Amino acid sequence: MLKTPVCDKLGIELPIVLGGMAGATTVDMVVAVSEAGGLGILGVTGLTGDQTREQIAAIKAATNRPFGINYLLFKIDEELYSKAIKECPPIVSLAWARPDQDLDTYFQKAHDADAKVIYMVGDVPEAVRAAEAGADVIVAQGTEGGGHVRSMSTLALVPMVVDAVKPCPVLAAGGIADGRGLAAALALGGEGALIGTRFLATNEAPLHKNHKEAIVKSSGHNTELTNVPDLISQSNWPGGGAARALQNDFINYWSDKKDFISKNAKTLNTEMLNARKAGEVDKTALLVGQNAGLIDSIEPIAKVIEQMAKQAEEIIAKRLPQFIC
């Protein structure tokens, strides 16, 4: 069985973590990942206090396993954060702080409630900042990933972060969709993987089936880093972070119309969100990683996790040892 030290630290069986994707994770997904032995994380950015409390309660009612909640720090509402922490999620996952935000304060609040803190970074200085503030686990997220990413690739970034924050455990994120990626994460010095896109093409994911099918159809070569969704939703990510999305008619059409977007953002945002809900995949932004090219079917989460762990185990136990003579 595949097990790394971070499993004991987080109280999980397998070093496979669901990225806390705001608007794209649900109670069902979190429960399915945690019940399969990984760590389910619910993205709660944008939820009201009541919604957050109800969803945490629903997860607790459905599983005794550890789970987490995720906040995008630059969008955080201090009062909602404090209230959510009081609901005692075992793990608090945070990402994308502004440079002026004091990580210690957020981490300490979680620690005071006996929660472990996972913090996601896209470069080494941010990893050092999080380690110094007392993060329990750091996620090194490469630019291959879906959603908002920085510019370093997973292959280069993970070992750099591992070296920079030792002995803090590191999870690799960005581009991992199967056991090969998980085994590679461990080879790079990581202790597991945090995964987004692969979990979007699952039965439990709350996306329209056309959106899931677009992931399956993608060769992985047709994604790009774009500011279009942020311009439309008027989100100001730290460092001007861009999002990795599928190249589609929507992104192509709006890429060179920034002035028009800024004058009509509110209407365009409503149209973008409605089109996503309706499964009109060419009229909206679909945040997806390059690993879409490794995803061939929509599966139940339990099956994805079982196969990923099995494949990683086979690579580590059978394929790699034969190269040592």
Residues in touch with ligand FMN (CB under 6 A) = 19-22, 24, 43, 45, 70, 72, 95, 120, 141, 144-147, 173-176, 194-197, 287, 289, 291
State which residue, 207 or 315, has the beta carbon closest to ligand FMN: 207
Q: Which residue is nearest to ligand FMN (CB)?
A: 196
Alpha helices per DSSP H over 195-300 = 197-200, 209-217, 228-233, 249-254, 258-278
Q: In angstroms, rounded to a whole number, what is the distance separating the alpha carbons of residues 42 and 3?
A: 23
Query: Cα separation of 182 and 291, whole Å?
Result: 12
**What's phi and psi for 91, nearest 5 deg?**
-135, 135
Smallest separation, CB 227 to ligand FMN (Å): 16
Q: Shortest approach of ligand FMN to residue 199 CB, angstroms?
A: 8
Question: Least distance in Å: CB of 8 to ligand FMN?
Answer: 23
Residue among 31 and 195 whose Cβ is closer to ligand FMN? 195
Residue number with CB closer to ligand FMN (76 or 287): 287
Least distance (Å) between residue 19 CB and ligand FMN: 2
Residue closer to ligand FMN, measured from CB, 109 or 148: 148
Cβ-based neighbours of 33, under 8 Å, separated by 6 or more: 16, 17, 18, 39, 40, 199, 301, 305
Amino acid occupying residue 141: Q
Nearer to ligand FMN, 120 or 158 (CB): 120
Q: Shortest approach of ligand FMN to residue 259 CB, angstroms? A: 27
Q: What angle do CA 182, 11, 20 make, to 5 degrees?
A: 60
Nearest alpha carbon to residue 200 among 275, 269, 286:
286
Length of the chain: 325
